[in-house]
């Protein structure tokens, strides 16, 4: 099946630093990718929709200056958590839909961010 | 507004048992429905995708059905194994880049 790769799987950083997470679709082009945040034992919370070549669309309540999204190519989207604080510690997951609106959704392996 | 509900929230069964996980949604205007599996600390693995025009999909011991008119989908797991222990999520694609997820069913299969 199609593969979406996410890196790094785990990252620990100091408060105030910035962290970049990459999401790649390995065997299909993705004009749109999605970034989620997941709290322990809870379902996924959509943070933003990443659009290739244009600005990301953020969900209500998500700070776009805190969570910078760049979708520079058809296979790569990045999420940068800027000036990270301990409350930003979470599990971040990306996904991409193969094909058009009715295509299958594939997820990355997730990235565990811990801010000290 | 589309809402997706999964019942039960948690389930514990002995190995070998057949089981059914339920997913219901409030708006039948969907593009498709997808079932995922999530292991602790991992991303989601796609199990089955059912398009709105389809009634069911099968993969190995898994069978998923879709009844759009009643807003229901079920995931049937035959002859469950300890390796099936995970959280199962259903996700409804409503189009316009919107996918609504259920809260999941945590399954534990006892050896």
Q: What is the residue whose two structure tokens read 């009715």?
A: A102
Q: What are phi and psi of A103, to 5 degrees?
A: -75, 165
Give the other-Cβ count within 10 Å of B37's Cβ.
Answer: 19
Q: Which of A105, A106, A110, A114 to mutate to test the interface with B (most CBs of B within 10 A)?
A: A105
Q: Is the pLDDT of residue B73 over 90?
A: yes
Q: What is the pLDDT of residues A59-112, one digit of tens each?
A: 999 999 999 999 988 899 999 999 999 999 999 999 998 887 778 899 999 999
Q: What is the pLDDT of residues B61-71, one digit of tens each?
A: 999 999 999 99
Q: What is the pLDDT of residues A16-51, one digit of tens each?
A: 999 999 999 999 998 889 999 998 888 899 999 998
At residue B51, the 3 state secondary structure works out as strand
Grade residue B97 by pLDDT with cuts at 50, 70 and 90. confident
Predicted confidence at residue A1, as pLDDT, reads 62
Q: Are A90 and A26 in contact (CB under 8 A)?
A: no
Predicted confidence at residue A33, as pLDDT, reads 93
**Residues 6+ positions from B70 with CB-CB distance below 8 Å:** none
Q: Which residues of B touch A (CB under 8 A)?
A: 31-32, 34, 36, 41-46, 49, 51, 89, 91, 93, 95-97, 99, 101-104
Predicted confidence at residue A2, as pLDDT, reads 67
């Amino acid at each position: 099946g199609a593969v979406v790769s996410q890196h790094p799987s785990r990252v620990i950083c100091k408060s105030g630093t910035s962290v970049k997470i990459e999401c790649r679709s390995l065997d299909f082009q993705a004009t749109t990718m999605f970034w989620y945040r997941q709290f322990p034992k809870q379902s996924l919370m959509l943070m933003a929709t990443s659009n290739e070549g244009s600005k990301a669309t953020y969900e209500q309540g998500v700070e776009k200056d805190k969570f910078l999204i760049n979708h520079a190519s058809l296979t790569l989207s990045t999420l940068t958590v800027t000036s990270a604080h301990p409350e930003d510690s979470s599990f971040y997951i990306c996904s991409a839909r193969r094909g058009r609106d009715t295509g299958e959704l594939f997820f990355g392996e997730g990235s565990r961010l811990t801010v000290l | 507004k589309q809402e997706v509900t999964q019942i039960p929230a948690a389930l514990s069964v002995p190995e070998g048992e057949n089981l059914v996980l339920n997913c219901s949604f409030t708006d039948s205007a969907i593009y498709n429905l997808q079932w995922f599996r999530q292991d602790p600390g991992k991303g989601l693995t796609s199990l089955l995708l059912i398009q709105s025009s389809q009634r069911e999909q099968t993969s190995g011991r898994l069978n998923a059905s879709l009844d759009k008119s009643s807003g229901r989908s079920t995931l049937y797991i035959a002859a469950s194994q300890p390796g099936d222990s995970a959280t199962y999520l259903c996700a409804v694609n409503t189009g316009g880049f919107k996918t609504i997820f259920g809260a999941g069913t945590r399954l534990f299969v006892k050896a």
